């Protein structure tokens, strides 16, 4: 079981946290991750694109010129595909791009992506980005830049962590997610992944009460 340092808002380390091997040291299957990511991107497509065929374009009911005697190729309508303003051959039509991917596949792909990032030292944990409940973008970015200068950072927050969310939501290099929305695509496109302690507990399914008691025990021991 690997461990990572937990950074405080003032930049110092408050200890370490263990990353379970079943999630952060699992075997990564590239074909599985590819399948899940493609399915996720396809699910985001609206599928409302549409081009008119020659039968749907207005006009063109009359033959443009007589069949014979002109020396030109015979034409039946000025709305044929070869004419400007004509219909489109095999154009896009509304469709559903959804691909079926079951929950076990999604979970396995996410474990593989997180494990890949963990093995490369790209998983980080902070207690919080700011002190107090008042959003402070400058302070939050100072903590984040103390961890990484990467251009694409995935920050995972607890669902009720409004102060940190408001502090980082306008930073272009940061992509924010709540713990229960963590997915394979966003992990793979990020250069670094940063959890808050609360978000990591929420993601791992650790009850808030047990997490608080564990912190209290560690403070007493210190």
In 3D, which of 178, 220, 175 has the Cα closest to residue 199?
178
Average pLDDT, the chain: 90
pLDDT at 177 > cutoff 80: yes
Quick one: pLDDT at residue 13?
86
Model pTM score? 0.78
| Average pLDDT rounded to a whole number, residues 42-59 | 94
- Over residues 119-169, the pLDDT tens digits come to 999 999 999 999 888 999 999 999 999 999 999 999 999 999 999 999 999
Q: What angle do CA 180, 126, 165 make, to 5 degrees?
A: 55
Q: Tokens in use for 64?
A: 């443009």
More confident residue, 96 or 2: 96
- Number of neighbours of residue 178 by Cβ within 10 angstroms: 16
Q: How far apart are CA 197 and CA 179, in angstroms?
A: 11
Structure tokens at 51: 């081009």
């Amino acid at each position: 079981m690997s461990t990572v340092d937990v950074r405080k808002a003032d930049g110092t380390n408050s200890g370490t946290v263990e990353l379970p091997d079943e999630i952060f040291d699992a075997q990564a299957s590239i074909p599985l991750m590819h399948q899940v990511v493609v399915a996720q991107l396809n699910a985001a497509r609206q599928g409302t694109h549409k081009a008119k065929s020659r039968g749907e374009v207005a006009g063109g009911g009359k033959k443009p010129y007589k069949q014979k005697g002109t020396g030109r190729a015979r034409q039946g309508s000025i709305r044929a595909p070869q004419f400007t303003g004509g219909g489109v051959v095999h154009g896009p039509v509304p469709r559903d791009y959804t691909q079926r991917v079951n929950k076990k596949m999604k979970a396995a792909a996410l474990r593989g992506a997180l494990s890949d990032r963990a093995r490369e030292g790209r998983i980080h944990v902070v207690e919080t980005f700011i002190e107090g409940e008042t959003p402070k973008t400058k302070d939050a970015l100072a903590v984040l830049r103390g961890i990484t200068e990467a251009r694409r950072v995935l920050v995972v927050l607890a669902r009720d962590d409004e102060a940190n969310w408001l502090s980082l939501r306008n930073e272009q290099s940061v992509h924010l997610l709540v713990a229960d929305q963590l997915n394979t695509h966003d992990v793979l496109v990020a250069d670094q992944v940063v959890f808050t302690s609360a978000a990591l507990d929420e993601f791992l399914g650790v009850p808030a009460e047990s997490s608080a008691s564990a912190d209290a025990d560690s403070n007493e021991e210190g």
